[in-house]
Structure 1
Amino acid sequence: MKENFNKIFDHTILKPSATSEDLKKVCDDAVKYGFCSVAVNTGMVSKCAKYLSGTGVPVDAAVGFPLGITTVELKSEETREAIKNGAGEIDYVVNIGKVKEGDFAYIEHEMKSIVEICRNAGKTVKVIFENCYLNNDEKIRLCEIAKKVKPDFIKTSTGFGPSSATIDDVRLMKKYVGDDVKVKAAGGIRNLETCLAMIEAGAERIGCSNSCEIADEYRK
């Protein structure tokens, strides 16, 4: 039971001040606890892949992170490079400004481009909405596009915005993608109670840096 619970976590180290020593500890903890992946910025993918080599724990690379405002071409190239350097999963941030403008054709093109790269490489792909900047109509439109394009996951937040994952957002996202796409909750999940509430609301993956503490609390 404990092992299955731990598999829900993308154990994250995304702070800009992270050192190689910090990364090594996070990777060691992910292997020790049997977490699903280690989520890092793309500049750390090669080193993370080396630390995790042979463990069965994949590297999860954050693309266009955390603002999402680079071009489709740059996000696509960043995705390809991350995969080349050893990433097994990709979490990319949508172009939030284009969502606010209502340019959903752009958003669909962006999503299709990155999902296709990941599909062709056999990698898991997650789309970060950054819900704190969006109204419900915008979130629903993103869900509708995701249901059409079919990334593996849609994700609530980067954890770098003014607010993070909420239960209401997870419920909303799950309602509109159903079983076609999974939901990942991330940002501000610091204890077991919050984690379990996200799972109850429909999240099938949790991104957080407090994974060890939550797993320990669950075990007890």
Structure 2
Amino acid sequence: MTLAPYLDHTLLRPDCTADQIRQLCQEAKAHGFAGVCVPPCYVALAAQELAGTAVAVGTVIGFPLGYQDTRTKFREAEHAIEAGATELDMVLNISLLKSGQLPQAEQEVEDLADLAHLHDVLLKVIIETALLTEAEIIQAAQLCAEAGADLVKTSTGFASRGASVEDVELLRRSLPATVRIKASGGIRTRAAALALIAAGADRIGSSNGVALLSEDDATSSV
């Protein structure tokens, strides 16, 4: 199988440049990736580069720690949508979750989901599985589903580890079929990506997308 339709081609390093974002978009367009995920300051550039294509323009909200005030996240999301984002990857307020303030955490997701859906934009919620217990992963997944998230995403890529097969399997068991899963963080090989898809991931976030497709080509030529 080809991985291209599963891949969000990602560049979120703090030292990334505008030229690197242009290259990312050209690669996504050339290979038919599902989307790109770029820093908020480059959403307009990515939207311009990808105009007229089926490649989604994604960006991050409340990244990478998630504990910004809800109003800050909401305004950040508004700006991103105005700039041309068609998908938002929002970091859950993990502090609220761990403090037992589940209604507040859920309300934040619901507010962002309502805003996104008003503009036909997808909302993915990053729950940062590396920082959660199994019980908290289940709590977070159910909270996101009830609040209207379109996808639950495993990781920012900035924690101690990224996605694991076990995380994705647990999320798939905990979520309704209508809520999809994005696995991200540390996915550097075709084998790892395929294992996560087999576990239930619908999207793969990777900064290594072109190399993963090179493995596709190598496999098909054997």
TM-score (norm 2): 0.95
User: What's the Cα RMSD here?
Assistant: 1.0
Tell me the alpha carbon deviations over residues 157-209 of structure 1, each in whole angstroms, 9 at most, x when there is no partner: 00011111111100000100030210100000000010000001000000001
Q: Distance in 1 between matches of 2:216 and 2:89?
A: 26
**Conserved 8 A contact 1:41-1:65:** no
Q: 2:136 matched to which residue of 1?
A: 138
Instruction: Say which SS state the counterpart of residue 188 (structure 2) adopts.
Output: coil
Equivalenced residues, count: 218
Aligned AA (2:49): Y
- Aligned twin of 1:160: 158
- The answer to whether the 8 Å contact 1:41/1:63 transfers is no
SS class of match (1:203): coil
Instruction: Output the CA distance in 1 between the equivalents of 2:112 and 2:217.
Output: 37
Quote the offset at 1:144 in angstroms: 1.3
> What amino acid does structure 1 have at the position aligned with 2:139?
R
In structure 2, the partner of 1:102 is: 100
Aligned to 1:185: 183
| Counterpart in the other structure of 1:208 | 206
Cα deviations by residue, 1:13-41 (Å, 9 ceiling, x for unpaired):
10000001111110110001000111011
Gap regions ≥5 residues in structure 1: none
Structure 2 unaligned regions, length at least 5: none
TM-score (norm 1): 0.96
Larger deviation: 54-63 or 32-41? 54-63
For residue 172 of structure 1, the aligned residue among 167, 170, 173 is 170
CA distance in 2, matches of 1:40, 1:20: 10
Cα contact 1:8–1:206 (8 A) shared by 2: yes
Task: Report what 2:76 is aligned to.
Answer: 78
Question: How far apart in 1 are the matches of 2:163 and 2:20?
Answer: 25
Cross-structure match for 1:8? 6
Q: Distance in 1 between matches of 2:216 and 2:202?
A: 16
Output the CA distance in 2 between the equivalents of 1:167 and 1:58.
25
- In 1, the alpha carbon distance for the partners of 2:180 and 2:56 equals 18
Structure 1 residue ranges, 4+ long, deviating more than 6 angstroms after superposition: none
Percent identity between matched residues is: 35
